[in-house]
A and B are shown apart, each in its own frame.
Chain A
Amino acid sequence: MSSADELQEKLQDLWKKALPLMLRRLNSIERAHKAIVGGALNDAMKAEAAQEAHKLAGSLGVFGLSGGSESALEIERILSSTDRLSTNDVANLGEHLQRLGRDINSGT
């Protein structure tokens, strides 16, 4: 087995182990999104979700889920803004969140 094949196989095992953590991070962002839609988002929840999106961007990228990584980066950008979220921001956040969820679940 080549080192590339060996690495790929081990990365798949590692992904299975890391999946619960990825889903917890996703869940944190989903909670923030629901709070935004319901008008109940607070600063702590927003900061936590932005931090989780930042971590997801790095993690998903190293596991080869580049689409999810890009969506996580975009979510981080939206949630890190100090401006009030516009209707367009909220719509973008929802779209990227759906893409993120699809990518994480497709990686299983």
Chain B
Amino acid sequence: MATTTITKTGTLVGKRLKRKEDPRLITGTATYTDDIQLPGMNYASILRSPYAAAKIRGIDISKALEHPGVVAVYTGADVKDVGPVPCGASLPGLRVPHHHILAQDRTYFVGHPVAVVVAADRYIARDALDLVEVDWDPLPAVADPEKAIEAGAPAVHPEWPDNIAFNFHQENGEVDKVFAEAEVVVKQRIISQRLIPCPMETRGVVADYRGGDKTLTIYSSSQIPHLMRNLVAQMLGIADNHLRVVAPEVGGGFGSKLNVYAEEALMGFIAMKTGKPVKWIETRRENFLTTIHGRGHVDYFELAAKKDGTILAMKLKLIQDLGSYHQLLTPAIPTLSVLMMPGIYNFKHIRADIVGVFTNCVPTDAYRGAGRPEATHGIERMVDVLAAELNMDPAEIRLKNFVPNDAFPYATATGLTYDSGNYAAPLHKALEIVDYKSLRAEQKKARAEGRLMGVGISTYGEICAMGPSPATPAGGWESASVRIEPSGKVTVMTGIKPQGQGEETTFSQIVADELGVEMDDVTVLHGDTMVVQYGIGTFGSRATAIGGTALYFALQELKKKVKKFGAMILESDDVSFSGGQCICNRTGRTADLSQIAGASYRAMKLPPDTDPGLVATNFWEPPNFTFPFGAHICVTEVDRDTGAVEIKRYVAVDDCGRIINPMIVEGQVQGGVVQGLGQALYEHGIYDESGQLVTGEFMDYAIPKATMVPWIETDHTVTPSPVNPLGVKGVGEAGTIGASPSIVNSVVDALSPLGVRHLDMPLTPESLWKILEGARA
């Protein structure tokens, strides 16, 4: 794939440019949390519950304290006054367990932190953990959400014996009437299994307290340094402006670092207690056990339709495995599934009931897609189930039900307003790319030969740019500050926190176009609350749509001031600004940006009513979400002998609005598809009945490796968003959302001659072999 040389001529937005971030990542010179070394730093190691549920009768730390090199050992009693791990989501009647940063008298999941050893190095700290003696009283546990709500199940929290954290109901239209009168009703139980996010870099925290000025600095691998600062300051009882949070290079988050964890406050507590810096780096085992998991749905879908395939109404009963307590957004994630349950189809009658269930497992929370993959998997499977029931082609039934192009802005049955869409366009394009007619002919031939070939379509819609502040727990705007330095070089401070999405590049493209500077003249700063003005962070495919828009508006403000200084220098009242210089429209004389910047700071003379300097800041509140969409087509063949699935072809046509850097967009789609493929074929976070995580290592939890990934063909249609002036929508999660239903639909299609209507993920060879065996019997 060609990359364009970076030049000043022409617009850079829309060009395939290499990422500015990559040299430091590729050469191993980036600074991650574990690269931070401070003088006199201690290391922490955390003792965790080996039981899914247990009473702590007592803890003896004396032997650990005597171990040479151990500085301190803390248990629940020491930290009982530190504020609880916060839940930012609020739902009517939500039960919120008080989650101490170290367990008090009871643990409720394997991995629950119980004690922490602080020592001169990480080896001593780990050795001394084995010397902490806990008197355990193991209790019965429950790991399956459907079993947890059966009568007599062990109570995760004794105060709530039914294990129900909340019930949530949403309804629109006349659901009962439409279902009663419908010509066709199809029903299906669909599971979106527990997944483990597995970022390349695990979590890690370094805390450094300066007693002299009472300031605490926390370095943490986080997607939300500012929000984390506010919440950890509250937990520790210090002022927010006495806490600096730095999120250095973050090696992937996928939502798992869109959170505030016990360890962030715990390390702050230790640094303040000991007066020495302290570091904790999560082991991979800890990452599996204690960083949030994703998904965890058992969904009961019902669809009502006419015989001609027109979808009329949908019902959903959603059982969400929450785990044992709420992390930052745990209870909110299934509500996102409800918002997106109609997909991109035009019907108005919906009913959803969520039961949020406590289990003795690590909490679920936002994982790439966060609620939308579950919703999309549901509606896209249900549309195929309906098509099978009516013996209709899955492409045809979709085209029949899409929200029509003239319906935008489109008010959905769940209360959203879809901004713009042309839903048939990517589907037509994808059908054309795969030559759908020939593909079906090929399938017919394959079936005649006894081969199990399948074609799967998913046409997804999703919700990005989270989001308007009223719809979020902590503000959904984003901030940008642009400073033209005295040299004319440009420094951007953005409130987002990239973890691989490449905004140092895309934001530089926007700046370069607006100010007429070179890409390399732009420095993009992020992730340090002492450097960057307050911001929200990177999640929910929001960074460019909201953060990029804040940047755009700050640049417009700044350009006005540049023109004022330009007019002053050129002694003209008629100037324009383009290509990095002010031009007098009468004389043609020019003043370039460095000259203007120099004059603005030297301030020998100032334009009327103008302050020195060239800085502009914008906090942008989006008027709506954005709603990208697309069509994925997957061709598979199932091995009759083993049940193994081979992906023969994968085509992803996405519409994420205007594209700033096609190479980055393709990368996001490809990575997203691979994660969706992981869910469809391989990944499953399995807890056994006693609440032990059986898939707690990469030896047992299969994420796709390069050799397991097919060639992914990407293409795009472009339907700009009217929500923001850049016309962008967001693409970070689209691939994941589109992928799992297209793969599962394809395999169901492959096995449909055997009467198969649905398959639950992951589609392991053995699960398919059992079906093939059943058919042979």
Task: Report if A and B associate in a common complex.
Answer: no
